[in-house]
Amino acid sequence: MAALSSSRQTTKRPILMDELTPPSTPQQEREQMFSSSPQLKVQLMHKNAQMPRRGSGGAAGYDLYSAEDTVISARGKALISTGLAIQVPYDAYGRIAPRSSLASKNSIDCGAGVIDADYRGEVKILLFNFGDSDFPVKTGDRIAQLIIERIYTPEIVKVDELDNSPRGDKGFGSTGLR
């Protein structure tokens, strides 16, 4: 980017605390959740960035697109630019999920997929190539899905003992296969 001359520099306004923090009471949170449609705000940060899109009316996720050409080496990994920054609603987070076609046809999976509501940097996708051949990624390829999921953040309470349950501490296959 070219440096701005001193006459063109602008001052960023300070961020107010109420812009960073969710409503403080459960009643205010409920009002915010149900008073209007939640919005996913998207900033295109790169000339090759594309808006996330759902592939069908019933799709859970929004397709995310590569903003760059790259090659993922066989048995390797690559961090792929989407050219996007997003603002997830405060009662949710964005989960980066693999595209089933990339996984089933090309052995490509993704990882490290949590976008918190207060993150404002570029969304990048960590792709793993579990195949034996290099995998080319082209600008505009659909590389992952963004699924917006509501979250609940309960108060953490230290206790001396947990409540009993029928399952108890049995895990790791204790309920059987069938």
Does 17 fall in a domain?
A: no
**136 belongs to a structural domain:** yes
The predicted structure's pLDDT at residue 7: 43
- Whether residue 5 lies inside any domain: the answer is no
pLDDT tens sequence across 39-70:
999 999 999 999 999 999 999 999 999 999 99
Q: Tell me whether residue 25 is in a domain.
A: no
On whether residue 172 sits in a domain, the answer given is: no
* Structure-token pair, residue 137: 């990624």
Tell me, yes or no, whether 87 lies in a domain. Answer: yes
Residue by residue, DSSP assigns 78-105 as EEEEEEEEEE--TTEEEEEE--HHHHHH
Domain hosting 120: range is 38-150
Specify the number of domains making up the chain.
Answer: 1
CATH of the domain at 121: 2.70.40.10
Stated pTM of the model = 0.75
pLDDT tens by residue, 159-175:
999 999 988 888 887 77
pLDDT less than 70: residues of the chain: 1-36
